[in-house]
Structure 1
Amino acid sequence: MRHAPTTAAPKVVLITGASSGIGEATARRLAAAGHHVVLGARRAERLAALAKEIEAGGGNALAHTLDVTDPLSTRSFVDAAHNRYGRVDVLVNNAGVMPLSRLDALRTEEWDRMIDVNLRGVLHGIAAVLPIMTAQGAGHIVNIASVSGLRVDPTAAVYSATKHAVRALSEGLRQESQDLRVTVISPGLTRSELTDTIGHQDTKDAVTGQMSIAIPAAAIGEAIHYAITQPAEVDVNELVIRPTAQG
């Protein structure tokens, strides 16, 4: 679907985890609206292909390899955007992993990975953009949480813990600044590659069976577009987007 370009000034929007799923869909939506998108992820070839496709369609995109678990990599990603465009208007902290399993499976390396990507990755992004946004006197941080940040289900204890933490972190950040806008997006079942990160086979089979009702990643991209295009004095703090059929 083609979207009319935005009538407001284009924003410089940085998106982590942009090589697939919600990140890719958001990049396409915002580029179609006329915004400058800066794409970050570990899969350089997929990023480059996406940026090339956006540019071929008349959009503006910059691809930069990014590992959100590494603060230096995150700083380099933000610096690349700032050096090219001279400002950073929006950061979409989207990168995430979801290797669900029961706690008694003791998959401790997966616990650490979720904490590193889902929580520390968000913190690294905030730390990298906050000085720039503070100097600008404006900025918008969009943190992708989950409906698992609103509830806790079996197999999701650690994942839910990281997403509850993202919501708490976002609320604290919002209250600390009168100039910075902060939005939490909490998707329900959404078609993406997150289920590919589930290594516990029984859990993966159960989750895969639920995905028949999942909504497209584009629905989340649309929500992010809505949040960032509100007037400067309007801060959309939280959006929850679920499939209609999800309990």
Structure 2
Amino acid sequence: MEQKLVGTIAIITGASSGIGAATARRLAAHGATVAVVARRADRLDTLVSDIEAAGGSALGVQADITDRAQAERAVSTVIDRFGRIDILINNAGLMLLGPVLDQDVEEWERMIAVNQRGLLFMTKAALPHLLIAANDELRGVADIVNISSIAGRQAWANFAAYNMTKFGVNGFTEALRQEVTKKHVRVGVLEPGAVETELISHNNDTIKDHLAVSDAKNIPEKLQPEDIAESITYMVTRHRRSSIAELWAMPTSQA
């Protein structure tokens, strides 16, 4: 049985496009007020307008969550406006690929900053409020969903640093789950396979061309952001007795 999200407040990072934007729309359609966090204010404004036009409630929060102060300020902004946080979706992510010998170390640092530090900063800032929400009468439960990747389960050549960040997300998620699950803060990790998003667009042309050819051959039908948004919604709308600790979402055509 699905739990309604009316009255809940959800924070979604990386919400200016792709999975984040699709998740914001879906959670808003289920009754949640969504605070959408990203660096691109113009896209957040458009997303908020779209959600409100569809009858939902949303707040855009411009922030670079790799900066601890900005991540903490984003959470404070939501608390100041709404007084609570019920759901945190740590979706912001960056995938930069290449061989270890040749890859620019600055690319590794950027991935660690977004995929790990940003997730840590947002979780640390939001967790006290999630614990409070889990204790009240609205739902009696709160949720953290961390968006990892199949690359958090399986390693490939040229994915080494990205693999490291996502394996780390998986480990952090499970450790945190064990810390807070008996307090009814559910912590789950979602590991998508190939999804049609902007994720590969930050790579150089050689990497992008290689991935385009490989995907066209091996994954003719990728998942869409809405597919992952549906899975996230499933995780956060379970009855409080039910916790989805790990969900692996793959295109049918991806081996």
TM-score of the superposition, structure 2-length normalised? 0.91
**Matching residue's letter, 1:203:** I
Does structure 1 conserve the Cα–Cα contact (< 8 Å) formed by 2:194 and 2:222? Answer: yes
Aligned to 1:187: 192
**2:172 aligns with one of 158, 164, 169:** 169
Aligned to 1:52: 49
Does structure 1 conserve the Cα–Cα contact (< 8 Å) formed by 2:9 and 2:84? Answer: yes
How many angstroms apart in 1 are the aligned matches of 2:154 and 2:240?
31
**Matching residue's letter, 2:145:** V
How many angstroms apart in 1 are the aligned matches of 2:126 and 2:46?
26
After superposition, the CA RMSD in angstroms is 1.5
> Is the partner of 2:101 in helix, strand or coil?
helix
**Does 1:215 pair with 2:223?**
yes
**Matching residue's letter, 2:206:** D
How many angstroms apart in 1 are the aligned matches of 2:49 and 2:5?
24
Aligned to 1:126: 123
How many angstroms apart in 1 are the aligned matches of 2:5 and 2:147?
24
Aligned to 2:237: 229
Aligned to 1:245: 253
Aligned to 2:138: none
In structure 2, the gaps of 5 or more residues are 136-140
**Matching residue's letter, 2:226:** A
Does structure 1 conserve the Cα–Cα contact (< 8 Å) formed by 2:93 and 2:115? Answer: yes
Aligned to 1:30: 27
> Is the partner of 1:213 in helix, strand or coil?
coil
**1:11 aligns with one of 8, 18, 36:** 8
How many angstroms apart in 2 are the aligned matches of 1:237 and 1:43?
31
How many angstroms apart in 2 are the aligned matches of 1:208 and 1:37?
33
The alpha carbon displacement at 1:6 in A equals: 6.9
Does structure 2 conserve the Cα–Cα contact (< 8 Å) formed by 1:155 and 1:203? Answer: no
Deviates more, 1:87-96 or 1:127-136: 127-136
The alpha carbon displacement at 1:7 in A equals: 4.3
Percent identity, please: 40
Does structure 1 conserve the Cα–Cα contact (< 8 Å) formed by 2:148 and 2:170? Answer: yes
When the two structures are aligned, how many residues end up with a matched partner?
242
How many angstroms apart in 1 are the aligned matches of 2:224 and 2:45?
23
The alpha carbon displacement at 1:57 in A equals: 1.2
> Is the partner of 2:145 in helix, strand or coil?
strand
> Is the partner of 1:103 in helix, strand or coil?
coil
The alpha carbon displacement at 1:39 in A equals: 0.3
The alpha carbon displacement at 1:8 in A equals: 5.1
Aligned to 2:207: 203
Aligned to 1:102: 99
